[in-house]
């Protein structure tokens, strides 16, 4: 069990009926308990599964689903039909359940006991048709859910449930997600904009704004000693030039001011119970900061890098949708090995089959994706309202496969775009000392970048080495949003057809629900 998910539960409800007598239900109950126990003991599932008994009538189903809705620990429900469970009895319950649903098509017995099987055995082990009856009502109700098919002891089967559990937990995390924008969106930018009311209804995001005058009330409360302590942490955690520790140097002063910015931002985020934030490099408060000493004398890039490690979602230039999605990616990825980050398409590298896109940002890349210990450096930054010496963590990313995702507002609906990518070795940039990754979008640069652009994808993305498209499939299903996947199977003609078909599908989908 991963500690991050220990406050959550997934409920397991078994469908049955009383037609076969109370003895059969007692057996169903025993089998279900053993299965849930076995699933929890597998070590594969990050969220504990809690068996909630058999549901044998419409009222029982409705009561369990109402309880699941009301229970704060419950982040999703798994249903399984051990015997035949007439599906009309699930209608009211399924109408009540708004939390993520997984329909598990499995069977207590692994193999048919050819020699001994009788009618009693058959009546008991009836998921083969009970799960089809249940599947029908979900299809008939257009009820979003995930279907997992396989034997309950098979690790491959449990892996699919584990993915869904992580997404369900992240979905619960998203339902009270407050995102604070320090500064507004960068003027005139289209793709980072969107409908905040619809986002709150759809994803649970609450998007707030905090003016710098209010940020300064937190800044003023930061104690110098705490800043000194944080600077000491920096020097112990990151490689750095020894002269940076010279307290009389400009470099030290910049690192110190960065630490103060970090403490300020963290204090705001904690106080506001926020899970994500955005910055805007054109809006950093008082422009006379170098005279007054009150405010951010450089963009808080190092602060953003470090806050991302802690799980605060980050979006640059006011991009609150990316900030929120980065938090969700981080939340889903907890305990997984390779890391995640906010990234931006920086510049192109044409090299035939190896054509790639350099991923970086001004500074704000999460060190979780670093291939080695990051280096703390201070360099001049020539963009934004503060053209100043600026502290940052410099590194290149790990290599290997990953997934980049973004959400855009299409007007009337949100669209999730997901691209499988392959990170190849990036190189240090002596004249542009920022953290970076270098990736080749799948199936190749030409089709991958082309499809992303055609779909209206951002230049910002939420990247993870550990997530797979299956996570995003589950996420889109739970959020009930459009998803476009760009991978090795993508062709431009098919992708264009999907874009056109989706326009109609989402128009009709609204009418059907």
Residue ranges binding Mn ion (CB under 5 A): 316-317, 344
SS3 206: strand
Query: Least CB distance from residue 280 to Mn ion, whole Å?
Result: 10
The two counts, helices (H) then strands (E), for the chain are: 16, 19
Q: Which is nearer to Mn ion, 344 or 473 (CB)?
A: 344
Q: Which residues face 396 on adjacent strands?
A: 436
**Are 403 and 419 a contacting pair, CB within 8 Å?**
yes
Point out which residues pair with 320 in neighbouring strands: none
**Closer by beta carbon to Mn ion, 317 or else 482:** 317
Nearer to Mn ion, 89 or 360 (CB): 360
Beta bridge partners of 77: 11, 101
Please give the structure tokens belonging to residue 138.
């979900």
Q: Given the structure tokens 């500064």, which residue do they identify?
A: 183
Decide whether 316 or 486 has the Cβ nearer to Mn ion: 316
- Residue closer to Mn ion (CB basis): 174 or 280: 280
Strands of the 101-105 sheet, one edge to the other: 48-55, 9-15, 74-81, 101-105, 146-149
CB of 158 to Mn ion, least distance (A): 39
CA 219 to the chain's CA centroid: 30
| Backbone phi and psi for residue 106, each to the nearest 5 degrees, phi listed first | -145, -170
CB of 319 to Mn ion, least distance (A): 7
Report DSSP state, residue 250. Answer: H
Q: Which is nearer to Mn ion, 4 or 408 (CB)?
A: 408
If the CB atoms of residues 317 and 388 are measured against Mn ion, the closer one turns out to be: 317
Residue 481 CB, shortest distance to Mn ion, in Å, is 23
Rounded to an integer, what distance in angstroms lies between the CA atom of residue 152 and that of residue 104? 9
β-pairing verdict for 400-409 and 460-464: antiparallel
Nearer of residues 76 and 384 to Mn ion, judged by Cβ = 384
Minimum CB separation of residue 63 from Mn ion in Å reads 49
Among the listed residues 312, 111, 275, 294, the one whose alpha carbon sits nearest the alpha carbon of residue 178: 275
Closest CB 265 distance from Mn ion, rounded Å? 18
The distance of closest approach from Cβ of residue 211 to Mn ion in the complex, given in angstroms and rounded to an integer, is: 22
Q: How far is the CB of 365 from Mn ion (least distance, A)?
A: 11
Closest C-alpha to 466, from 333, 308, 323: 333
Nearest residue to Mn ion, by Cβ distance, number only: 316
Q: Residue 397 carries which DSSP code?
A: B
Q: Tell the smallest beta-carbon distance from residue 344 to Mn ion (Å).
A: 5
**Cα Dmax for the chain:** 90
Minimum CB distance to Mn ion smaller for 316 or for 381:
316
Give the DSSP letter string of 209-242.
EE-HHHHHHHHTT--HHHHHHHHHHHHHHSEE-G
The residues, any chain, with a CB within 8 Å of residue 500's CB and separated by 6 or more, are none
CB 174, CB 204: distance < 8 Å: yes
Q: How far is the CB of 456 from Mn ion (least distance, A)?
A: 16
Which of 102, 101, 97 has its CA nearest to residue 69? 97
Indicate the residue among 238 and 314 with the shorter CB distance to Mn ion: 314
Q: Which residue has the tokens 């934004």?
A: 384
Residue 262 or 344: the one with the smaller Cβ distance to Mn ion is 344
Closest CA to 160 of 145, 144, 176, 149: 149
* Pair of tokens at residue 119: 């009618």
Shortest separation between residue 301's beta carbon and Mn ion, angstroms? 12
């Amino acid at each position: 069990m991963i500690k991050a998910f220990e406050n959550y539960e997934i409920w397991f409800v078994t469908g049955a009926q009383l037609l076969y007598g109370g003895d059969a239900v007692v057996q169903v109950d025993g089998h279900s308990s053993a299965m849930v126990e076995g699933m929890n003991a597998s070590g594969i599932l990050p969220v504990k599964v809690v068996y909630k008994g058999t549901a044998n009538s419409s009222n029982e189903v409705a009561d369990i689903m109402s309880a699941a809705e009301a229970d704060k620990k419950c982040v999703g429900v798994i249903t399984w039909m051990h015997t035949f469970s007439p599906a009309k009895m699930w209608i009211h319950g399924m109408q009540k359940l708004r939390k993520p649903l997984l329909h598990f098509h499995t069977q207590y017995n692994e193999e048919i006991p050819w020699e001994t099987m009788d009618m009693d055995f058959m009546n008991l082990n009836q998921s083969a048709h009970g799960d089809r009856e249940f599947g029908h009502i979900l299809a008939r109700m257009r009820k979003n859910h995930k279907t997992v098919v396989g034997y309950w002891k098979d690790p491959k089967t449990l892996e699919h449930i584990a993915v869904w559990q992580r997404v369900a937990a992240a979905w619960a995390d998203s339902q009270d997600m407050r995102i604070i924008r320090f500064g507004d969106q960068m003027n005139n930018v289209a793709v980072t904009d969107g409908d905040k009311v619809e986002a709150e209804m759809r994803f649970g995001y609450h998007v707030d704004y905090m003016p710098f005058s209010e940020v300064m009330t937190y800044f003023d409360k930061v104690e110098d000693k705490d800043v000194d302590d944080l600077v000491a942490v920096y020097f112990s955690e990151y490689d750095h030039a020894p002269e940076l520790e010279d307290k009389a140097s400009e470099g030290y002063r910049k690192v110190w001011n960065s630490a103060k910015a970090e403490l300020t931002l963290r204090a705001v985020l904690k106080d506001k119970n926020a899970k994500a934030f955005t910055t805007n490099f054109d809006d950093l408060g008082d422009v006379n900061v170098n005279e007054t000493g009150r405010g951010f004398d450089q963009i808080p890039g190092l602060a953003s890098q470090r806050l991302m490690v802690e799980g605060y979602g980050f979006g640059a230039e006011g991009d609150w949708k990316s900030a929120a999605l980065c938090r969700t990616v981080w939340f889903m990825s907890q305990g997984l090995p390779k890391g995640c980050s906010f990234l931006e398409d920086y510049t192109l590298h044409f090299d035939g089959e190896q054509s790639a896109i350099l991923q970086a940002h001004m500074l704000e890349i999460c060190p979780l994706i670093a291939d080695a210990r990051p280096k703390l450096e201070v360099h001049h930054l020539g963009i934004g309202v503060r053209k100043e010496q600026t502290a940052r963590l410099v590194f290149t990313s790990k290599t290997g496969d990953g997934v980049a995702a973004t959400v855009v507002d299409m007007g009337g609906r949100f669209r999730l775009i997901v691209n499988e990518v392959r990170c190849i070795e990036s190189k240090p940039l002596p004249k542009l000392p920022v953290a970076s990754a270098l990736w080749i979008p799948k199936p190749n640069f030409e089709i991958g970048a082309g499809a992303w652009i055609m779909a209206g994808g951002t230049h910002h993305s939420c990247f993870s080495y550990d997530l797979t498209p299956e996570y995003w499939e589950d996420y889109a299903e739970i959020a009930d949003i459009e998803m476009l996947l760009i991978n090795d199977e993508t062709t431009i003609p098919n992708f264009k057809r999907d874009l056109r078909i989706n326009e109609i599908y989402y128009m009709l989908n609204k009418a059907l629900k």
